Structures are given as C-alpha cells and as structure tokens.
Amino acid sequence: MDSTALQVANALVGNGRADAAIEITWGGFRAEIGAGLLFAVTGAEAEVTLNGAAVPTWTTCKASSGDIVAVGYPVRGLRSYLAVSGGIHVPRVMGSLSTYLRGGFGGFHGRALAQGDVLEIGPPQHSSAVMRRSPHELVPPYSNRPMLRVVLGPQDDRITPEGVVTFLNETYTVTERSDRMGILLDGPRITHRYGPDIISDGTIPGVVQVPGNGRPMILAADCQTTGGYVKIATVIGADLPLVAQLSPGAQVRFTAVSLLEAREIRLRRELQLRRFCESVIHTA
Amino acid sequence: MQSASPGEMDPGTAERRSPIAPPFPRILPCGETALTIEFGDDIDSSIHRWVHALSRRLRNLGHPGILEINPTYRSLLVQYDPWELSLEALLLHIERALEAVPEPEGPRGDVLEIPVCYDEELGPDLEEVAARHGLTPESVAAIHAAPIYDVVMVGFTPGFPYLSGLDPRLVTPRKDIPRKRVPAGSVGIADRQTGIYSVDSPGGWQIIGRTPLRIFDLARSDPFLVKPGDRLRFRPITREAFENLAYS
C-alpha cells in the first residue's frame, strides 16, 4: 500500500527497491532473527524495539542471530514496513512477489503471516553494512488530516459542477469499512449528472469513484481492475503513501492539480529516490 | 507535410485509405500514470472491436514505458511510466498505432466451448430469473446457451470474463444483497452483462448455473482460460456430466 515506505526500507538495507518486505497493519509484530542481518522499519509512527530497546524508524539497524524485533501499535498512520537485507524469499507468481489475499496466492502461501511462520531471507546484495537514516525529503508528510492532490477526471464531467466544488472543498472521514481494496469515505454527498453508473472500464489505485450514495471512495493497492462507477479524479502517485496510512476517523481533503504538475511532482520524487538508492550502493 | 488525422477523410487520397477509418477516440488522463482511450459510450461490438484492435496494435508495437494495457467494453486504459515515457511521446505512439490500425479483425479463432450445468442447486437464482421474465428455468438455460458471446474484457478478479451478447429477454439487475461467497465457475447475469466467476469471491450477480472448468488456474501453464477478444458459447450439460468433469 505504501510504496515509498517499502522502497526506502529496501534501500536502507541495500536491497533492490522492489524486493519483498513485510507490511504490518496495526502493529503487533514480533519475530526472532535467525542469522545476522540489517533491517529497517518505515511507514507509520510506531515503536520499534530490538530486544526490548527502542530503535529509530526510517533508519538502518543491525540485528544478530537470536535477537527479537518488535513493531508496536501505530500512534500515527496504520502500516509499517519491515525490510531485511537480502529480502524476504518468496516465489514469484505472475511476475510478482506480493500477496493477493483475495485470490489466496502470492507472497507467503497467499495468506497473512501467522504466529510460528518461518520466513527465508535471500542473500544480501551488498556485502558491507552501511548504517544510514532516510533523508527527510523522502519521508512522506503523513497526517491524520491530509490534503490529497488529485488530477480531475476521467469522468468529472459526469459530476455536477456543485458536486466538483463539494469534492474539492469539503472534509471527508475515513470509515471502518476501508481496507487494501479501497478507502471508503463519509461526508457531504457529491451529486451525479446522469447517475452513478458507467459502462465498466479500467481502474487503478488512486482512482476516486463516486457510487450511488454520493460518498467518494479511493481505490487502493488490491482494487479490482475494472469498475462501473463514475471516476471523479485520481490521487497522484506521490500522495498514495498518505492514503496508505489512513486509519478510520482520519479526515481527508482533496485539492486539484494539473496533469503537468502531477508529472513534475512524480518525476522529482523519483529522482530523489533514485539518488538515495544509488548513494547506498556507492558507499557499500 | 500535413496528414489527415485518423477519422478525417482526406479527399485527395480517399481511395487509397482503408475503407473504414477508426472513430477518433477521446483520450483522457487518469492521474499522471494512465490514459483512458474511449471509443464510444455503449456496449456495442463495433466499439469493442476497435478497443481490441488498438490494444493488439499497442502490444505488438511494444514500448518499455507502457506497463499495462487494459481493454474494457468501450475504452482502453493504458498505464505508463512517466520516467520512461513522456506524455507527448505516449500520445504520438498512440496516434501512430491508431493510424496503422486496419479495419478491425473480424472474430478470430475458434469459439471456446464452456460446459454449464443449469440447475437450481448450481444456479441458485435460476428460478427467480425465470419467474421474473415469465419463463421456465429450461427456457432460461436454452436462451442463455444459444448465442456466441464476445469476451469483451477480463476484470474484477483474476480471469473473470465479461461477455457481450446477452439476449435482452434475460437482462436482470444485480441482486439487492450480494452473496458473501459465490463459488468459482458460477455463471451469472448482471444487467446486460453475463460472465463467469473465476475465483470464489463475494458477488451480486444472478447465478444461473456453474461450469466445472477452472476459468483461472495458477497450476496451468496459462492460468487464464478466457482472454479479451475470445468468443465463447455455453453448452448445457447434465448434473452427472458436471460431477464427472469437475472431479476428473
């Protein structure tokens, strides 16, 4: 869900950006380390301990065989990302290392981790241990009241002008029915011009649909690939990590940016990330 | 040198152009990493043939910056990587693909046969759909199994095919309360759409039968039995035949 947190965590331990790591939702994670490695926890603001002693997040840490790593309940945000040097070793299914819970495949036997599971770690990519802290500009501005930047469309013309104004000015609350497929919001109704249904077409994470009840929903990492509701806007890639950290009760607002601006933001971010990853490789 | 854009007939060379110019689609951004290319706003085989023709053409041309091509009833969603491919280059790429798209290929390949058992147990909504339209369950089965369907798109869950060509007599809205679990293989109707559940999932479609075939099977060399652009027809089978095929 939080691609920035995942990629930075991987970079901090010298992994490839897309190596497999562990996504921890609502904390409560505890694991014993088998053999010495580097690890890093990014994402939500949560207490991370090594053998009971607090360690910083967004920072490379070192663990030895027998050490216990624990990730606690997030005090702000929702999902933590734990990467270890060498990456988690899981089979590639249809080109991906991720878990698809709904289909029951991918990742670790297609399911969430459970007590007693033993995870294999791959061989580390770089031999030297480099301890570093993620540069500040790479950490997304997580918030319980984020302003999400969107590009309007492709079906904003199927929303009334008043509806678009409502969408861009009102505050929406994250409901408990949210999950990895989508963030369901509550708040002022957004009115359709011709009704909520469209002929089903393609959807991607970040798309904001407006179903019959007029309350927007933000599609997330496990969303379906086609959808039949009006799509008023798409959250820009740089703000998807903010979406990934929304817990029930969080309040969101939307603001429109141009397509050109959205591209600029993305390319700048990508450059920052690449520079950081390269710097890790060159000093290792 | 000015060239006529796709959709414009250049009088000087009209005879040399392909007889059917593609409808010039509406191209809309879907965020900064995808474009929606719309050929119309209807469920119509002439529209979705263009969707598939462009989809095939883009796939054949190939470009490392194009990450995913998602054909649906009347539009194509193209996901791209802005780092690899500028928007301008992508649009040019699409325009070239459109210019080169010939008259869309007629139905290609064989018609896939999907055995289906239409009975009340495997199709728990069969009786209700029948009653709603003043038909018998047997008639519903016969009407549903009559046409050759186009697979317009695959979505929702891995391998779930959406078909066009449903007989208007069977058009039925989705269930008011979706089921928590619809078994894989279930054949259903939702409004003008008909399709097959490829994995167990919640669902609101009206279920009128089930196929013993695995529409999605990771163990198969090609996990997807049905692809967009395919054609299929349903072949009614008995419950006994269903059990034999399901457990073979």
pLDDT tens profile B188-214? 998 888 999 999 888 889 999 999 999
- Of B29, B37, B30, residue with least CA distance to B6: B37
How far is it, in rounded angstroms, from Cα B90 to Cα B82? Answer: 9
Contact B174, B193 (CB under 8 A): no
Q: What percent of chain B has pLDDT over 90?
A: 60
Whether the CB of B244 is below 8 Å from some CB of chain A: the reply is: no
Q: Which residues of A touch B34 (CB under 8 A)?
A: 202, 204, 234
- Of A232, A222, A203, residue with least CA distance to B75: A203
In B, minimum Cα distance to A260 occurs at B32
Residue B170 CB neighbour total at 10 angstroms: 20
DSSP assignment letter at B170:
G
In B, minimum Cα distance to A224 occurs at B156
Residue A120, token pair as written in the block:
């294999």
ipTM of the complex: 0.93
Confidence tier at B99 by pLDDT (50, 70, 90): confident
* pLDDT for B92: 92
Interacting residues of B6 by C-beta distance below 8 A, sequence separation 6+: B21, B22, B24, B95, B98, B99
Residue B10 has pLDDT above 90, yes or no: no
Mean pLDDT confidence for B63-80: 93
Q: Do B162 and A226 touch (CB under 8 A)?
A: yes
Confidence tier at B12 by pLDDT (50, 70, 90): very low
Alpha carbon distances (Å) from A134 to A8, A19, A41, A75, B70:
7, 18, 11, 20, 36
Q: What is the pTM of this model?
A: 0.87
DSSP per-residue letters across A168-226: HHS-EEE-TT--SSEEEEESS---BSS-SEEEEEE--TTEEEE-TTS--EEE-TT--SE
Residue B95, token pair as written in the block:
């325009």
Q: Residue B12: what residue type?
A: G
Query: How many C-alpha atoms does B103 have within 13 Å on its Cβ side?
Result: 6
Confidence tier at B223 by pLDDT (50, 70, 90): very high
* pLDDT for A42: 98
How far is it, in rounded angstroms, from Cα A138 to Cα A141? Answer: 9
HEC letters along A250-272: CEEEEEECCHHHHHHHHHHHHHH
Alpha carbon of A37: minimum distance to chain B alpha carbons (Å): 33
Q: Which residues of B touch A259 (CB under 8 A)?
A: 29, 32, 87
Q: How many CB pairs under 8 A join A and B?
A: 100
Residue A126, token pair as written in the block:
């770089």
Q: Residue A83: what residue type?
A: A
Q: Do B31 and A199 touch (CB under 8 A)?
A: no
Whether the CB of B139 is below 8 Å from some CB of chain A: the reply is: no
* pLDDT for B21: 55
DSSP assignment letter at B59:
H
**Lowest pLDDT segment from A114-128, A245-259, B64-78, B219-233:** A114-128
Contact B91, B66 (CB under 8 A): no
Q: Residue B169: what residue type?
A: R
Query: What interhelical angle do B45-61 and B87-100 show, nearest 10?
Result: 120
Residue B241 has pLDDT above 50, yes or no: yes
Q: Do B42 and A262 touch (CB under 8 A)?
A: no
Whether the CB of B72 is below 8 Å from some CB of chain A: the reply is: yes
Residue A193 CB neighbour total at 10 angstroms: 13
Contact A191, A148 (CB under 8 A): no
Whether the CB of B223 is below 8 Å from some CB of chain A: the reply is: yes
Residue B143 has pLDDT above 90, yes or no: yes
Mean pLDDT confidence for B96-110: 71
Residue with tokens 């590639």: A92
In A, minimum Cα distance to B42 occurs at A199
How far is it, in rounded angstroms, from Cα A28 to Cα A48? Answer: 10
Contact B234, B167 (CB under 8 A): no
Residue with tokens 């049905």: B226
Q: Do B77 and A202 touch (CB under 8 A)?
A: yes
Residue segments in chain A with a per-residue pLDDT below the cut of 50: 284
Alpha carbon distances (Å) from B137 to B131, B193, B234:
8, 19, 15
Confidence tier at B22 by pLDDT (50, 70, 90): low
How far is it, in rounded angstroms, from Cα B23 to Cα B48? Answer: 12
How far is it, in rounded angstroms, from Cα A255 to Cα A235? Answer: 9
> What is the sign, positive or negative, of the torsion defined by CA atoms of A238, A228, A94, B36?
negative
Q: Which residues of A touch B70 (CB under 8 A)?
A: 202, 225-226
Interacting residues of B121 by C-beta distance below 8 A, sequence separation 6+: B239
Q: Residue B84: what residue type?
A: E
Interacting residues of B84 by C-beta distance below 8 A, sequence separation 6+: B64, B65
Max Cα–Cα distance, chain B, nearest Å: 68
